[in-house]
Structure 1
């Protein structure tokens, strides 16, 4: 079970910024994060609020 609300999950997922390669009305194509970027993303997420691995996984599952 997660301590994050659905609104928090959505907000934190929006904060994850990846390089956009292509975007149109139907599709957004982004690069996958490399190790350094992933480390930075996770540090930013836990600076917002302490969370466990399951919560981080829920937020990042959409990328």
Structure 2
């Protein structure tokens, strides 16, 4: 999405960079949890704000 915006000459891409960084952080967390599960390590579940998560993916879903 960032490449498409830049190709069109759009310079207001900060939110896309922030979204990509947040997605990378979520992917790293998921990977850690999957590895812990496969190793049968104890997990530390934390509450999740589903509205915030879906709202943060609205650009990707469009």
Pair in the same fold by TM > 0.5: no
Larger radius of gyration: 2
Name whichever structure is richer in strand by fraction: 1
More helix by share: 2
TM-score, normalised with respect to structure 1: 0.30
Q: With CA pairs under 8 Å and 6+ residues apart, which has the higher RCO, 1 or 2?
A: 1
